């Protein structure tokens, strides 16, 4: 591996590792809908505030999430709203055996904001599709 590529690829690996937990994926999906405080995320995940805060710290360190102080609490939001779209693209291209079925047709690119097809209704539709495959 070329030295110039190593740093770039290590950053990408860190981003992917930060997503490698179901609770963090749920956080990402919730933040795609709207910014949230730790309490809302804790309630959805069903874990204590310390655990949720650690998950948020992992996502923040990877550069996927940022926080904004709102008086006595922090509100968390995504830096880029296309994370689940990336995962949806991979899932769409795979069949049940993990083999490539067809190339992804989801447009490439991220404007840093929530994509129009990531409305709560569209997210639920995508989640239902995933559940029906398992």
Map out the domains of the chain as residue ranges.
3-78, 83-133
Percent of the chain with pLDDT over 90: 54
pLDDT value at residue 101: 61
* Exposed e or buried b per residue across 39-78, where buried means at least 16 C-beta atoms within 10 angstroms of its C-beta: eebbeebeeeeeebeebbebbbebebbebeeeeeebbbeb
Say if CB 68 and CB 75 are below 8 A apart: yes
Whether pLDDT at 43 is above 90: yes
CATH architecture of residue range(s) 3-78 = Orthogonal Bundle (1.10)
pTM above 0.85, yes or no: no
């Amino acid at each position: 591996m070329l030295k110039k590529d190593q740093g770039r690829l290590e950053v990408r690996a860190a981003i992917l590792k930060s997503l490698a937990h179901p609770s963090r994926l749920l956080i990402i999906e919730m933040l795609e809908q709207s910014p949230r405080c730790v309490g809302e995320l804790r309630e959805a995940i069903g874990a204590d505030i310390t655990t949720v805060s650690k998950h948020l710290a992992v996502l923040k360190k990877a550069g996927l999430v940022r926080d904004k102080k709102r008086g006595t609490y922090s509100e968390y939001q995504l830096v880029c709203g296309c994370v689940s779209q990336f995962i949806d693209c991979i899932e769409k291209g795979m069949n049940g055996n993990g083999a490539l079925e067809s190339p992804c047709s989801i447009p490439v690119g991220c404007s840093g904001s929530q994509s129009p097809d990531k409305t709560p209704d569209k997210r639920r539709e995508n989640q239902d599709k995933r559940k029906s495959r398992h």
